[in-house]
Structure 1
Amino acid sequence: MNSPTPDDSTTGLGTALAAPLQPRPRRTLLQRWRGAWRRWSLWTALVGLVVSMLATLVWLAGRYEESQVQTQLERDAADAVVDIRVSLSRTLQNLQALHANDPGELAWEVGAADLLRNHRELIRIEWRDTSLRVRDHQQSPYRPLAWDRRLRESGQSDAAIACANARRLSSPAYSSSYFQPHGDGLGSEMMDLCLPLTTGGKVTGFVVATFSLREILLNLVAPNLTRRQEASFIEPDGTRLAVLGAARKGSRMFTSQHLLDMPGSTLVLRMDTWHAAPSLFPNVLTALVTAMSIALVTVMAVLVRDNRRRLRAERDLADALAFRKAMEDSLVTGLRARDLQGRITYVNPAFCAMVGFSAAELLGQSVTAPYWPPELVDEYRARQAVRLSGGEVPPREGFESVFMRKDGTRFPVLIIEAPLINAQGQHTGWMSAFLDISEQRRIEELSRASQERLQATARLATVGEMASLLSHELNQPLAAISSYATGSINLLEPASSTAAADAGDTASAPTTTAAPSAHDVEGVRMALTQIARQAERAGKVIKSVHDFVRRRDQARESLPAQQLLDAILPLVSLQARKLRVRVQTHVESGLPPVLCDRTMVEQVLLNLARNAMQAMDHPDIHQRVLDIRVLKTATGQRTGWIKFTVTDLGTGIDSDVAAKLFTPFYTTRSEGMGLGLSMCRTVIEQHGGFLGFAANEPRGTVFTFTLPVATPPAQSP
């Protein structure tokens, strides 16, 4: 089948479909509008119906729950009144039993005290005669109060009024409540019960029991109170006499009042409760709510599922962003992102701390960054232009540059850049990582200076060694020259005097040999004298050089062994990385400091470590470990020696080489001078120590030397 040509599509098919397609957009728009209106009307009706049903259910549930709460409160108040009446009746029976069988005062006191201990609502029990005078009394051990006896026995007291009612009624009577002050400045509401004592129908006395209204609430009502209820005694006019219960909780208050009618007195028990709006629907409406919930879940299942997917995606994205943010904030490496126009779009806290500028000051900068040094702005602009144009690919190992902090200080940085690719695979900018290498540069400079110092020290030590060797080798020839010159002078002096005497005695006699002239003799004497003088001078020069070399003992100081190792470890580590040697050190704890020349001992350690690493530089040796240890000797406490060991896993030392190992100028390497180990032994011996070596098991060599322990200064008594 051939594909249609452009002419076919524009003339044949296009003409056939042009007429029917013209009115379709308008009908489609109208249909869409009608469909949208129908959907929205249905949704609106559904939402309105659901809202009205929910509002009705909530209102009905609230009314139902209010009625339930009020009914329960009325029931609780009625139960509390019944409990109080039963308890008061039981107390009244106990008071009547107190006077059974006509007890004596001692038995009455014992019974009253026992009754007060068992009933905390009782405060005081009095035994009065017919004239209302107090014969005996007992007070509660839980709340002792100071009572005014004259006021209690007066005819106008509440107890007297209650006893008058009891005499008239021939039955127990209660007084109205009254306020009884305490000794601490407070007080409480009290109520008296008067019980007449009769014998043969005749009143023989009274028993007056005093109740605390608050203790009645606390002991008789409180055990049945909930945390949202409050109980109180009030008077008929609403005055509160005693209150017990929790503070107000909730938004709505319910109240119930019940009358506590007692002979001679009347109290009102009021119970309040606070309750919030209904939090759960009652069981009566559970079926309707469940059915409506199922309908809503069915209608909105698709929306809920879509919403869950969206929320899950947002949560995953938020977790990823939080994880990335935590990683970026924890980095010590500075990060910076730029778009294709060179504008800074992101910086992390490490970069801001590195340059001293805040993120607000850096974001959006494009032409000139504030952390560029002014003298390097043109160079950095040119480099940035080349980078953004794509004409230069940054090296993977990074490149060094110089930045400027906000305070104007310059510092070197290592920059590593990579293209910034978005989720669609498009190149949107550049991501750069920055490392502040100023500390690294400082350490390298210190290492270089230390290496130069150690090299200079090594050269000085070599010169000293050579001076010592020269002084040893040249002293004997010079001494012989001096002896020969002195002998020549001694031989010339007698011959000269004899020749002169003979010349004077035989002045006229002929001689066969010509005697040396006085001028010649004087010249020979002068020459021989100069030989002796110059030989003596050479000996003095060599001795002064030798003394200068031995004068190094004066530079000794007290140092910890760890400090000596720390000084050479940077140089040792550089060569160890080059030779792939693993360096391990160990300093025994509690070591005293050593007394040594810091520079010379550091050179000894450095020479031994280098020799050990070079001994392992062999293709057949795969395990290359340099072990440096500092240990105590047998007497290495406050006085004695500290032992240093340098161990390698090299090929070891042959017996013929070991015999000449410390010989000056003897070496097994073509580039060596043969003075290193000789110098090391000289330095250690100048400190009074010993330098030696032994074979290491299973392979390698162990060099050992000792240094004296620094003697602590004597303390004044």
Structure 2
Amino acid sequence: MLGILVFAMLATLVWLAGRYEASQVQSRLERDTADAVSDIRVALTRNLQSLQALNAGEPGDLAWEVEATELLRNRRELVRIEWRDANLRVRTHAQSPYRPVAWDLRLRDGSQSDAGIACANARRLSSPAYSSSYFQPYGDGLGSEMMELCLPLTSGGRTTGFLVATYSLQDMLLNLVAPSLTRNQEASFTEADGTRLAVLGAARRGSRMFMAQQLLDLSGTTLVLRMDAWHSAPSLFPNVLTALVTAMSIALVTVMVVLVRDNRRRLSAERDLADALAFRKAMEDSLVTGLRARDLEGRITYVNPAFCAMVGFSAQELLGQSVTAPYWPPERVEEYRQRQAIRFAGTVPPREGFESEFMRKDGTRFPVLIIEAPLINALGQHTGWMSAFLDISEQRRVEEISRASQERLQATARLATVGEMASLLSHELNQPLAAISSYATGSINLLEASAAAGPEDAPAASAGQLKDVRMAMQHIARQAERAGKVIKSVHDFVRRRDQAREAVQAQQLLDAILPLVSLQARKLGVRVHTSVEAHLPPVLCDRTMVEQVLLNLARNAMQAMDDPSLPRRVLDLRVRRAASNQHSGWVEFAVTDVGTGIAADVAEKLFTPFFTTRTEGMGLGLSLCRTVIEQHGGYLGFAPHEPRGTVFTFTLPAATP
């Protein structure tokens, strides 16, 4: 690649040098063309002044001819001068002595001739005017392009005659442009379309041709002066700078060739080292375990990104720290220093590690599991300690949540059992209690009737029978009272839960059930989505009972989506302010599934106790849920969810500050 770059640079420099040389030639040619046009303008102006001087002082015809002949002898570009009257008739004329011209006077005297047209323009403009070029044959069979100049002669504000001067374009090039031409240049007068009218010089054709044009704008006509030049192609070394760069490039290539063998070995070693470093860097960046290295003085020499993310400090803030680490809790600094001193004294820590507590940059504390090992270099020397850190705060949180959930589930299961027992007791004891009450009432009525009747009307009863009847009645009353106490005790046990209400954040309620919900969701292939509106007030509720309601509704929703034909299974748990209330005193919980929905006949009996559509169900779940919500003063209901599924919603009161 270096060789390619050097040769590319060399070729570019040579090309740029050639371009620069070509631009210089072109610029010089354009300057020469502009100078030639300027020389022609100066010569034409000088000739115009000389022509005006011919008629100064009203000379006679003979004197005028002598002066005109002398002017033609000195100005070889002029081939003929005529003095015409106001009607354009030739009064006298003078002709160049250097080249005879076969003039056709009939054509020159006409008003439509080039001279007549030029004089008409001069009369109209009251200033000299030129005609367009025309071809005029010579007497020897050759010819040349001519151009007429008409100069009006005025006296007292009126035109008294004209001076007509005839220019030869070829002689203009020969006398006005030739002195400044070089051997490699060619000058020519051309028309606007490129047609050449007169050419001077025979430039030999080279490998590179240059051309420049300048307009010669005259009163009445416009000519184009074109100059062509040839230039040979630039040599390989057009200047000293390119030669110097080339020599340096050759020297550089030579050095490069000499060092190729050594560079190959070095590049191979660097490549292997880079691969090893990249592999180690990728491995360290992919770790979730924090790594920290310290030297024998306790200075931190290395930390990986996982450790920085764990404690919240950057690597620059941690490297070099030795006395006190910034992630140590202030109240435990002395304890950690002593432990560090014991470690540096040579005591090897246990292989299974030990637990400690760190502090993040924002001040939050979190538990960590630390595993340390001696750091040995390539020479086998002990240079420090390498430590691995595991953030076990999530593990602790999950364990705490699991423990609390187990306790709440046990309490909830006990409460549900009590509820079921209460329902069963209510159902089973209603009829016996009614019978006992009826029997006791009938017995008392018989006794009262027997007591009210006279001895002569009622059959005689023994005192022992009356005593037995009274004893039976007392037993019946005691059993009835006992049954009532049983029902009342169960009822009081359930009602005691009403006094255990507390202010709980909605997110905490969701977090308490999510581990159990997620476990069942993974089994059924359901994706759980939670959404809690920002800045919600806490709700005032029996936390265990409401969590049981949420868990029951979530399980029912996931079981409703237990259908392999469903394209997607999503359980949506959403909490927001109740939209139906004018104030912010209620919070609405919604559990949405995308299952098959609830049929109309099932919806009518959905909250009926002991009604269930599952063979293993008891039919008390939704009934108990509605009872719990209504005990809190809220409402539990359901509605279809578009495009499919069902949404269960219930409301709870917000806790007042």
Which bracket does the TM-score occupy, shorter chain normalised? 0.3 to 0.5
